Structure 1
Amino acid sequence: MIDTVAFDIGETLIHDDRYWASWADWLGVARHTVAALVGAVTAQGRDNADALRLLRPGIDIAHEYVARDAAGLGEQLADQDLYDDVRPELSALRGLGVRVVVAGNQTVKAAQLLRALDLPADVVATSGEWGVAKPSPDFFARVIEAAQTVPQRILYVGDHPVNDVFPAKRAGLKVAHLRRGPWGHLWADDPVVQAAADWRIRSLAELRGLVRE
């Protein structure tokens, strides 16, 4: 029985098109260049921020965040950044009596922006607020705390094997690997990922059936 469905954020609930486009504009490079580098570091199993480090070696990303914010070009999130199935499917899960938790590797500001979207979720939290990030076991301990149930009754949904699938399984959670975004598509057919995930899905609409089972 699943009491809680917990969701990763980037490329699970929101698509990162505007995020990377804004970095391209800030650094003065073509948007397709940034997109290509994000794909390259993804394929290499590296942190996606390495795309920015390739463009500007020695970049202080934290400093650039502050500078962008001061210039009025900081983080933004709006309904247009949500995948189309997010609102209806989160609402449907809550209608089934399932607790919905949104928790991913994002900044404090991203948490504020997500809450401003008034998502149909019981908890919205980010690594920036918690002071611990995936794939740390402490992050998933916080997810379990937010879920208010035992790990075996929590389903964590995410696209990234290293940040989502593997650590969530180690924490005792059920896992659905989502074939969405660059990481989700790249690793969807990997036998190790397939073996680790309890389910593999292409849309959040599939979650209602899993919960009913």
Structure 2
Amino acid sequence: MRGLFAIARAAVFGIALTGGAFAMGIFGESRPTNLTFNDAAHQSTPIMIDGLTINGKTMGAFPTLASSSWLNPRGGGHTLTDLPWESEDDQIVDVHTEWTEIETGRAYKADVSVPWGELHVEDVVGVTAYMTFVYGRNGEFMLFTNAEPDPKSGQHNGREVTRVCGQRTPSRDQNYGLRVNEIPGLGRLIDRRDQWMAVPDLESNCTVEGA
């Protein structure tokens, strides 16, 4: 994956020096060595996270349900872990994630690459970067940072860093309804299906492809 972003690194490095003024202004040239992250999906479109890697490191055991607290994903999974770097001069955080919509069974994957200077950074237990991964409808994937309301939407996902339309991966489509006894929380979610199906769908910038 890093090879795909090699050309883009020179361009985004300039963004890290300007857009990351907050992080660098406090911590100088020190890159974050730790990471804390949340995940969220809208209540009307619950999803199963099938995989998440950051800078090539797997972040947890999968599959796992994403939090359905779209407006406040800080109530979901919250993890403090090491943030690995490939080399001493690396400035880019690479994220790869795979997921499946519970209702439709449609699977997606997405890759995003951002300068660490675009992330909210604090000295918690070492220099720590904050990320929130938000999964929308039709394969929409968004990366937010910090715990403040987004200035554009007012939602408590944090400040939006980037969003992409994930790629459909039909070969991974599956019916998670058949696995309610395997995955913690899935049975309760399926039992409440009538409730989340009645919630109006949130708008998405992505369209279904390869359905």
TM-score greater than 0.5 by the shorter chain:
no
TM bin, normalised by shorter chain, reads under 0.3
Q: TM-score, normalised by structure 2?
A: 0.25
User: What TM-score does the superposition give when structure 1 sets the normalisation length?
Assistant: 0.25
Structure with higher helix content = 1
